Amino acid sequence: MLYFLMVSSMASKNTYDEHSIKILEGLEAVRKRPGMYIGSTDKRGMHHLVWEIVDNGIDEVINGYGDYIKILLHKDGSVTVADNGRGVPIGKHESGKSTPEVIYTILHAGGKFEEAGYKVSGGLHGVGASVVNALSSYMEVTIYREGKISQIKFHDGGKVLSPLKTIGESKKTGTIVTFLPDKEIFKNCTFSFTTICERMQESAFLLSNVTIEVIDEEDNLSAKYHYENGIISFVEYINENRNVLHKPIHFASTKNKIDVEIAMQYTDSYNEQILSFVNNVKTGDGGTHEVGFKTGITKAFNDYAKSNNLLKGKDASLDGSDVREGLSAIISVKIPEDLLQFEGQTKGKLGTPEARSVTESITYENIKFFLEENKEIALSILEKAQKSKEAREAARKAREQVRKGNGKNNKERVLSEKLAKATGKDYAKNELFLVEGDSAGGSAKPVRNRETQAILPLRGKVLNCEKASQHEIEANAELRQIEYAIGAGLGQSFDYTESNYGKVIIMTDADVDGSHIQILLITFFYRFMRPLIEQGMLYVATPPLYAIETSKGKEYIATDEELEEKKKTLKGNYKVQRFKGLGEMDPDELYETTMDPKNRRLMRVSITDAALAEKRIHVLMGDEVAPRKEWINENVDFTLEDDFRK
């Protein structure tokens, strides 16, 4: 019935004008609720505009047309994306408008998205180029096709500025889109060369033999990605700085219309690194394909170990985590549209049940075959897994000892020396401050709110956990104190519901050493208490950089920019004090500015892209300051907490 109504209204009533009004209403709806279409209007949302346009170019490549995509970040904040595909069709649409006008102004225009077998409509992908146009103050599409160069221009959220016209001749083919995100919608946002490069590199890995180039005209940076060996190159890239145990294992197969391709390689590290993709889009929260892969390798290794009598103890078996220790893997599955199901808030988790059984059986069969054909590699991986199992069991026994009381005194002793506890018993309300340096720690202890705030001073640099095993962590005094203070275990046995604190707050000086300590601590939490980050319980305190004293009193200033702004508004005499570190504030000042929930500004730590963060942590541990700063900006999504200064 509804279908009938739609058809009849299109056939008879829709005059050109009425059509145009509808289009403007459609685009206006996007401008009114941008979040519904692109998730958010922050930096992340603005990058969605780029992904949207780039994905159209990538689809053209996937369909077999073109092999080159270029992205230019211009100085004025606009972006150009170009491909060498067939070019958007330039003929007249049945409405009387040109096809490009329809594609770039009508929501979900064109059969392209429905037809393309693997176009992902999961989550926020594939909302269409018209959404980008609606959220841009300027957009220009140039098409090379049929021997001509044609161009159409829009402004002001998708209004036609100049209809499609021929502007030249050329034998080339392709599409070039330039757009300027609307500054009213994306306030103070800028594009990040790093973010765009990372995503483009990932796409280049997943679609072998395409070249993707990214150029930042503002900072004169450029990057070019081209990989002939697809996800094999991807896993090699991830393991670039690690010692690998063998050449990548690679297999691909199709079952029940689902394609599964996997590249995996063991390293001598303790980290597990699994990245999964569905129809070339990352599934950041995993899902059924990842579960299937994990079950498949666990079974294959256990079966192989048992049939070759390689396990100690007759009922012994390896846990999934033992089998994954040191493993890097890329899982890429292709699922037809009608079977696609996504879950979770950000739609980053595959729900399709069939993907689980298919990935599991393909993985199991291929790994089993590989192990039988490669005895030596099989033995080295199994030896490592066996060690992981033994370490896991030893750690569990040690924890049980502690629980039974034997270790308790020791634990108490470790803590009593340093930790100033909170007296309150409402753990969710309690806060643990990890403070850089004994002197700042000493200042914080007497002024804290004793009921809810605990202070643990940290001396000097924290152990770099990038390459440390759980044993090394447990042997490190500083980190053990943190573990005991939080009291919720470590690694696999970590249980955030047992935490003695609802908030863990890292408080360091606002200088280079301070930011280094932040990263080291975040790395520790990321590796050994990850649920704490996932639950939004980890924070970074932001001590002020300056205090300004005027006749009216003292005011604290957080950033250099704010200081400049403030200076402009001040007349008469004033005195600026710069705090080089927490230690330069007197205790009351420290409490007032950085610890008091009424005034302080806390930033919640959330790791945007876990896998790349892991790789980058590596880069960061060097002595260079710039990449570290950049890493903090790009990766750790410091979202302002609710209780920040006005």
Query: Is residue 319 annotated as part of the catalytic site, yes or no?
Result: no
Contact indicator for 147, 170 with CB cutoff of 8 Å: yes
Of residues 89 and 581, the one with the C-beta less far from ligand 28F? 89
Site for ligand 28F in 354-373 (CB under 6 A): none
Task: Choose one: 110-118, 131-139, 411-419, 577-585; the region binding ligand 28F (CB under 6 A).
Answer: 110-118
Cross-strand partners of 277: 282, 332
- Does residue 436 have an active-site annotation? yes
Complex with ligand 28F: residue 88 or 258, whichever CB lies closer = 88
Task: Output the smallest distance, CB 134 to ligand 28F, in A.
Answer: 16
Q: How far is the CB of 348 from ligand 28F (least distance, A)?
A: 24
Give the residue with the Cβ less far from ligand 28F, 53 or 323. Answer: 53
Q: Can you read off the two tokens belonging to residue 188?
A: 């103070």
* 482 contacts ligand 28F (rule: CB under 6 A): no
The structure tokens listed for 99 are 């096809």
- Please check whether residue 235 is in contact with residue 328, taking contact to mean a CB–CB distance below 8 angstroms: yes
- Fill in the DSSP letter of residue 347: S
Helix (H, G, I), strand (E, B) or coil at 280: coil
Task: Find out whether 359 and 288 touch, Cβ atoms under 8 Å.
Answer: yes
56 binds ligand 28F (CB under 6 A): yes
510 DSSP 8-state letter: S
User: For residue 90, which of 134, 144, 126 has the smallest C-alpha distance?
Assistant: 144
* Residue 59 annotated in active site: no
Long-range contacts of 608-615, Cβ-Cβ distance < 8 Å, separation of 24 or more? 608/635, 608/636, 608/637, 609/198, 609/284, 609/635, 610/284, 610/526, 611/238, 611/273, 611/275, 612/198, 613/526, 614/271, 614/273, 614/526, 615/238, 615/241
Q: Give the integer Cα–Cα distance in Å for 210 and 221.
A: 20
Least CB distance from residue 99 to ligand 28F, whole Å?
6
DSSP helix/strand/coil, 178: strand
509, 589, 609, 634: which is the annotated catalytic residue? 509
Q: Which is nearer to ligand 28F, 177 or 378 (CB)?
A: 177
Q: How far is the CB of 61 from ligand 28F (least distance, A)?
A: 9
Which of these is catalytic: 42, 213, 259, 511?
Answer: 511
């990352």: which residue's tokens? 282
For every residue of 54-93, which 3-state class applies, written as one string? HHHHHHHHHCCCCCEEEEEECCCCCEEEEECCCCCCCCEC
Pick from 53, 210, 275, 305 the residue near ligand 28F by CB under 6 A.
53
Q: Which of 73, 124, 177, 262 binds ligand 28F (CB under 6 A)?
A: 177
Radius of gyration of the chain from its Cα atoms, rounded to whole angstroms: 28
Shortest approach of ligand 28F to residue 140 CB, angstroms?
Answer: 11
Question: At residue 609, what are phi and psi to the nearest 5 degrees?
Answer: -130, 95
Segment near ligand 28F (CB under 6 A); pick from 81-89, 397-405, 431-439, 492-500: 81-89
Residue 560 annotated to the active site? no
Q: Is 46 in the site for ligand 28F (CB under 6 A)?
A: no
Which x/- pattern, by CB under 6 A, does the window 137-176 give for ligand 28F? --------------------------------------x-
**Is residue 204 at the binding interface for ligand 28F, with CB under 6 A as the rule?**
no
Q: How far is the CB of 259 from ligand 28F (least distance, A)?
A: 23
Window contacting ligand 28F (CB under 6 A); options: 51-59, 148-156, 270-278, 288-296: 51-59
Q: Quick one: tokens of 232? A: 């094999």
Of 436, 483, 589, 609, which one is the catalytic site residue?
436
Kindly tell me which residue out of 52, 60, 609, 614 binds ligand 28F, with binding defined by CB under 6 A: 60
Dihedral of the alpha carbons of 551, 556, 561, 566, in degrees to the nearest 10: -20
Residue whose pair of structure tokens reads 């192990």 in the numeric block: 371
62 belongs to the binding site for ligand 28F (CB under 6 A): no
- Angle between helical axes of 408-416 and 477-486 (0-180°, round to 10): 110
Please choose, out of 86-94, 161-169, 311-319, 457-465, the segment that lies near ligand 28F by the rule CB under 6 A: 86-94
Q: Nearest to residue 435, comparing CAs of 426, 427, 444?
A: 444
Smallest gap from Cβ 187 to ligand 28F, in A, equals 26
Binding segment for ligand 28F (CB under 6 A), chosen from 56-64, 238-246, 423-431, 465-473, is 56-64
Q: Does 128 bind ligand 28F (CB under 6 A)?
A: no
Number of residues that bind ligand 28F (CB under 6 A): 18
Output DSSP code: residue 9. I
User: Residue 115 CB, nearest distance to ligand 28F (Å)?
Assistant: 8
Could you say whether residue 110 binds ligand 28F (CB under 6 A)? Answer: yes
65, two tokens: 């047309």
Orientation angle between helical segments 375-404 and 353-373, nearest 10 degrees: 120
The piece of 104-112, 180-188, 476-484, 548-556 that touches ligand 28F (CB under 6 A) is 104-112
For residues 47 and 51, give the distance between their C-alpha atoms in angstroms, rounded to a whole number: 6
CB of 86 to ligand 28F, least distance (A): 4
89 makes contact with ligand 28F (CB under 6 A): yes
Exactly one of 88, 131, 350, 381 binds ligand 28F (CB under 6 A); that residue is 88
Structure tokens at 528: 């050994």
The answer to whether residues 543 and 471 touch, using CB atoms and an 8 Å cutoff, is no
Q: Which residue is nearest to ligand 28F (CB)?
A: 110
- d(CA 179, CA 23) in angstroms, rounded, equals 19
Q: What is residue 312's DSSP assignment?
A: S
Binding of residue 112 to ligand 28F (CB under 6 A): yes
The residues annotated as belonging to the active site are: 436, 509, 511, 513
State the residues that interact with ligand 28F by CB under 6 A.
53, 56-57, 60, 81-83, 85-86, 88-89, 99, 103, 110-112, 175, 177
